[in-house]
Structure 1
Amino acid sequence: MEVPVNRIFERRSINFFDPARELEDSLLKEIIDLAANAPSAFNLQPWDIIAVKSDEAKKKLHGLANQQPKILEAPVTLILSGDRSAYGDDNPQWSFMRENYGNDGAERAKGAASFLYGSTEERKIKFAESNTGLLAMSIMYAAKSLGVDSHPMSGIDFEGIKTQFGLEGEKEVVMLIALGYFDEEKVLHSSAPRRRFESLVKIA
């Protein structure tokens, strides 16, 4: 599905969600399936999502996210995690590459990925976070294309969320995304100005 340009400009970070409006599981699935077309290095897709929906889980996450009200108000908050070791042999995407490019092609790609993303701790972190960031933006645009509002959050207890929500090994929390519908009884302030081409881009 193509995201209309006007939808891109309509996307806002919504601080106030309508707690009376649910987000149907079928619509959440549609958002994630659409967003999962996001690109990733070697198509390794080094990400996972926990959809926080129950009152119990929301309360737990609320305490680990600086008590931001949107955690309790939004029908769903996604915990996006990136796997710092997803370039390893056990990633099933290598099987797809082997089928399409042969054993030699897959082994060369694995060697390159291991060096590019696993040779230092800094590279491992960048691998997990940069790729999961691509998924995150894809989720927010996919949501808006389907009429669902969102708000990303990084002012959170990353280690606490990892522990309390059972993320193991080298899976690290990257951000949260609240999904739902704007509370029409609240005021949504005008969008802050964005930098455009002239101030963003340096031609080299």
Structure 2
Amino acid sequence: MELFDAIYQRRAIKAFDPEHIISADDEKKLFEAAIQAPTSFNIQHWRFVVVRDKVLRAEMRKLGNDQTQITDSSLLVIMTADMKAWQKDPSRYWVQAPKEVADLLVGWMGPFHDGRDWLQRDEAQRSIGMAMQTLMLAAKGIGLDSCPMIGFDIEAVAKLINLPADHVMGPMVAIGKGTKAPWPKPGQLSLDEVLVNNTF
């Protein structure tokens, strides 16, 4: 599928075929695409929690307003990120860069993040968003549907997946074969309303 077709055709699908299975090759293709998403300092702090256990999914559905896509999609991915990835052997993020570039950016990473908990969280959430959109477009590109979800008990789901204290929760993404057409698009704001030239 062409990129612009995937962008315009991607919709939040609510009904999935529970019998559909995504092949291991296609699943790998999706996540290999997702990790091409950019991250600040190339930290790559997203962590994709793939919920495969059916009992666990059923528990999450109870915590997610009984949304059927939590149990019926082929893949359920919880988007999380390690807020302290900048501290964890940061030179590994730049192993293939020229030494002077690696030294500069690894050296800057600590002072940029240190003592700024709000920034660490913001960067983690920004990275989650970019990876999530990449994942959903990749799914559309191979003929699959997706649904991003934030309508669940975040703290309870974090507990179910044993989320480490230094990680942050993002949305869930359900991926699979949709069984119902989406609602018509509710309407986009005009570019005149959302595009600002230079200053407000």
Q: Same fold (TM over 0.5)?
A: yes
Q: How many residues are treated as equivalent by the alignment?
A: 198
Corresponding position: 1:188 with 2:182: yes
Quote the offset at 1:37 in angstroms.
Answer: 0.9
CA RMSD of aligned residues (A): 2.0
Q: List per-residue Cα deviations over 1:162-188 (Å, max 9, x = no partner).
A: 2211221311211100001111xx453
Partner residue in 1 for 2:58? 59
Q: Distance in 2 between matches of 1:106 and 1:7?
A: 35
Matched residue type, 1:66: N
Partner residue in 2 for 1:79? 78
Q: Distance in 2 between matches of 1:113 and 1:53?
A: 35
Written as runs of structure 1 = structure 2, the 5 A alignment for 1:8-87 is 8-87=7-86
Corresponding position: 1:173 with 2:184: no
Partner residue in 1 for 2:194? 200
Matched residue type, 1:128: A
Q: Secondary structure of the equivalent of 2:124? A: helix
Is the Cα–Cα contact under 8 Å of residues 85 and 118 in structure 1 kept in the other structure?
no
Is the Cα–Cα contact under 8 Å of residues 53 and 75 in structure 1 kept in the other structure?
no
Q: Secondary structure of the equivalent of 2:18? A: coil
Matched residue type, 1:100: A
Q: Secondary structure of the equivalent of 2:98? A: helix
Quote the offset at 1:96 in angstroms.
Answer: 4.9
Q: List per-residue Cα deviations over 1:91-113 (Å, max 9, x = no partner).
A: 4xx235255232x6434323432
The 10-residue stretch of structure 1 (190-199 or 46-55) with the greater mean CA deviation from structure 2: 190-199
Partner residue in 1 for 2:150? 154
The 10-residue stretch of structure 1 (117-126 or 172-181) with the greater mean CA deviation from structure 2: 117-126
Matched residue type, 2:166: E
The TM-score with structure 2 as length reference comes to 0.89
Partner residue in 1 for 2:117? 121
The 10-residue stretch of structure 1 (173-182 or 188-197) with the greater mean CA deviation from structure 2: 188-197
Q: Secondary structure of the equivalent of 2:87? A: coil
Q: Secondary structure of the equivalent of 1:12? A: coil
Specify every segment of 5 or more residues in structure 2 that has no aligned partner in the other structure, as ranges: none
Could you tell me the percent identity over the aligned residues? 22
